[in-house]
Amino acid sequence: MVENPKRIAMWERLRDEWSDEIPEEIVHGRSFKARKVFFANVALSLQLACEKGEIANSDVVEEVSRFIDDYAGSDEFHDRLTTDNDIARANDILDEILGRK
């Protein structure tokens, strides 16, 4: 379990305060998980936590690595619209990190 209070607070905000709704049109400047910036924030913060040894469970580190590959390092993801499954996957990994699973 991560013990960095600032990082935990950020993950809680990303998980709980950003909307799961997928707007019918592209929006800017609002907190929708459908936005690519949401996935960039999740991926970067998870990567930093792994690099700093804050996430030590090897299974979770592997899951984080797959998430980063699929969302931060994927042209395919950046070239398409976000789906409900993408948002569910981000929620699942945040729930895992926050000890909600």
CA angle 35, 37, 39 (to 5 degrees): 85
- Answer whether residue 54 shows pLDDT above 80: yes
3-state class of 32 per DSSP? strand
Q: Which residues pair with 3 in a beta bridge?
A: none
* CA separation for the pair 50, 38 (Å, rounded): 18
pLDDT at site 96: 94
Q: Note the pTM of the prediction, 2 decimals.
A: 0.92
Amino acid at 26: I
Give the confidence band of 27 by pLDDT, cuts at 50, 70, 90: confident
CA distances from 22 to 11, 30, 59, 70, 85 (A): 20, 12, 30, 19, 11
Position 56 confidence tier, pLDDT thresholds 50, 70, 90: confident
Mean of pLDDT over the chain: 93
Domain boundaries defined on the chain: 5-18+30-97
- Alpha carbon distance 36, 80 (integer Å): 10
Q: How confident is the model at residue 95 (pLDDT cuts 50, 70, 90)?
A: very high
Q: What number of H helices and E strands is found in the chain?
A: 5, 0
